[in-house]
Structure 1
Amino acid sequence: MSFLRILGLTSLSMAAFAGNSLLCRAALLHTSIDAASFTSIRLISGAIVLVLLIRCRQGAPVIAGNWLSAMALFVYAAGFSLAYISLSAATGALLLFGAVQATMIGYGIYAGERVRKWQLAGLLLALGGLLVMLLPGLSAPPLQGAILMLSAGVAWGIYSLCGKGAGDPTGVTTGNFLRAVPITLAMSLLTLNSITLDMAGFGYAVASGALMSGLGYAIWYRVLPALRATSAATVQLSVPVIAALGGIIILNEPVTVRLLVASVAILGGIALVMNKEKPGET
């Protein structure tokens, strides 16, 4: 896969992940939909779109995946939605992506991936940029919400790691979503007495599942084999920046110097980590 193709697919994936954050925040803040219903509708609509997508391809459809990835997908989606009931957007993003980085980079180092000094510098630069954008002014998060978001981050890291070398990305993602459907329906049944729905919340959840999750994760699975675990972890640090920019455009939030500085640091750090060869090295 060429560098430009890797860059394009990775950018689309990160935009989809940021879109999920924006849609979930909008749904839980501005509609009456509950977090469990949002999660179930998101996963079910994602599964439907993926099944339709795989049936439109030439040849016999092959649906793969595994129960570990499906459970990780569910834990991520459920923890993500439930945590945003009590966490602010900035606190949630910091906890989520901090857990993702710790999971994926920790596994990469455990598996023997070599991290060069300039790549480590890039990682620290990206993390520093994220802290510049998120830390000032944050209060201690509610314990329950923090645990839920940390669990979501670990689950997303596991899901991403399971996707490396897992075969056909669309077939694998489809299988994982289908396996996650009965799990999320069981959650909805357990919370039946607290279910609340409206058309706006339903629409946000469908968009999150069909477009941002189903198609977005299929693209992410496709590009994952071309990325090292450390690179795949670090590139996801761009998602809070993209989500913040989306908030500016959609919610008319002001552009700040802090956001500009953090964006340069995060994207520059990602470029260092993803670059496989240091200038002058062979």
Structure 2
Amino acid sequence: MSAPTPTPTPSPSPAASPALPVAIPLVVTLVFFAANSVLGRAALGETAPGVAPDPAAFTALRLVSGAAMLALIVTAREGASGAAGLLARARWISALSLLGYAAFFSAAYIGVAAGLGALVLFGAVQVTMFAGALWGGERPPPMRWLGAVCGMAGLAWLTAPGAEAPPLVPALLMAGSGVCWGVFSLAGRGSTRPVADMAGAFALAAAAAVPLWLGAAALGLAPGLGLREAGLAVASGAVTSALGYAMWYGVLPRIDATLASVAQLTVPLIALAGGALWLGEVPTARFWVAAALILGGIGAATLVSRRR
């Protein structure tokens, strides 16, 4: 997703040297996660002339294409028997939080820039994960508290009233998307078959998204996607989401957990670069202050906590 961009926070894994063969898929995966934001913004905020944005259609196509690709990946790895039980493995909390993430994500990108949206998403995911850890009885060290406070301060600064503030409703929708992805990540912690579990969640979320899309279309609330926008939705689901997550879980066991956590901090900045190059979106001074608070605070807290 954008991921998260906002992706499940990895559990500690054995240290491994990120040699070139590992670095390449790691970089490609991070670019894929950031590309979700650029594709979403291009399809919903920068539509072709005469094409109205349709977040319901984008969400449904993204989830359906993602579910199909993940099912193919599981079948290739585990055979037909492994793919047959995907829906049975799916948990409703995972499917509903995934659906919420995708729906809020699509609605938000009608009115918020790619890089800014990725930053809000990332900050909201991290704050939600921290809150979930507290709820679960964990006692984070002081530096983790500092990172969470910096993340909340960055989000507050980013959305505070002012000339450079993003539109409030899209920003809040993206924050809601981040909360949903944080819940999805918390629900999936400890999974022994993360790609299969994600495939099941995608399938169940898609099964809910398609009727909602068709219902919205019947009520005249979903104008339909143009060919370009539909292609971007499929690319976001099948390539930058499904393949991205499959690659991410393939890379995780081969790199240090600290590197995995810190590497994710680059996703909003990669999305910012993509939005600037493809969509001509120029970041404001407010963005850089918020990025320093959110990414810098969480990055420093992660590094210090891991070293201890």
Q: Is 2:42 aligned against 1:16?
A: no
Letter of the structure 2 residue corresponding to residue 213 of structure 1: S
Query: In the aligned structure 2, how far is the partner of 1:95 from the partner of 1:265?
Result: 12
Task: Check conservation: 1:47, 1:178, Cα contact below 8 A.
Answer: yes
Which of these residues, 68, 71, 75, is aligned with residue 93 of structure 2? Answer: 68
Which of these residues, 62, 66, 74, is aligned with residue 46 of structure 1? Answer: 66
Letter of the structure 2 residue corresponding to residue 155 of structure 1: C
Equivalent residue number for residue 47 of structure 2:
30
Give the aligned length. Answer: 275
Q: Is 2:299 aligned against 1:274?
A: no
Helix, strand or coil for the counterpart of 1:274? helix
Aligned-residue RMSD, C-alpha:
3.7
Task: Check conservation: 2:64, 2:237, Cα contact below 8 A.
Answer: yes
Q: Is 2:155 aligned against 1:138?
A: no
Equivalent residue number for residue 57 of structure 1:
77
Distance 1:43 1:263, change over 3 A: same
The TM-score, its normalising length taken from structure 2, stands at: 0.72
Equivalent residue number for residue 156 of structure 1:
181
Equivalent residue number for residue 197 of structure 2:
172
Query: In the aligned structure 2, how far is the partner of 1:127 from the partner of 1:239?
Result: 18
Query: In the aligned structure 1, how far is the partner of 2:110 from the partner of 2:297?
Result: 31
The equivalences for 1:117-136 within 5 A come to 117-124=142-149
The equivalences for 1:164-243 within 5 A come to 164-192=189-217, 193=220, 194-219=222-247, 223=252, 238-243=266-271
In the alignment, structure 2 segments of 5+ residues that lack a partner are 1-12
Distance apart, 1:93 and its partner CA:
4.3
Helix, strand or coil for the counterpart of 1:30? coil
Equivalent residue number for residue 4 of structure 2:
none
Distance apart, 1:252 and its partner CA:
5.1
Distance apart, 1:221 and its partner CA:
5.8
Distance apart, 1:108 and its partner CA:
1.1
Query: In the aligned structure 1, how far is the partner of 2:171 from the partner of 2:284?
Result: 27
Which of these residues, 245, 254, 264, is aligned with residue 273 of structure 2? Answer: 245
Query: In the aligned structure 2, how far is the partner of 1:89 from the partner of 1:81?
Result: 11
Deviates more, 1:124-133 or 1:108-117: 124-133
The TM-score, its normalising length taken from structure 1, stands at: 0.78
| Identical positions, percent | 37
Helix, strand or coil for the counterpart of 1:211? helix
C-alpha offsets along residues 59-114 of structure 1, whole Å, 9 cap, x if unaligned?
Answer: 54252331210111111101111122244556644543343233211111222333
Letter of the structure 2 residue corresponding to residue 74 of structure 1: L
Task: Check conservation: 2:158, 2:166, Cα contact below 8 A.
Answer: no
Letter of the structure 2 residue corresponding to residue 138 of structure 1: E
Letter of the structure 1 residue corresponding to residue 38 of structure 2: L
Helix, strand or coil for the counterpart of 1:56? helix
Distance 1:4 1:276, change over 3 A: farther
Deviates more, 1:90-99 or 1:32-41: 90-99
Query: In the aligned structure 1, how far is the partner of 2:134 from the partner of 2:74?
Result: 35
Query: In the aligned structure 2, how far is the partner of 1:134 from the partner of 1:212?
Result: 28
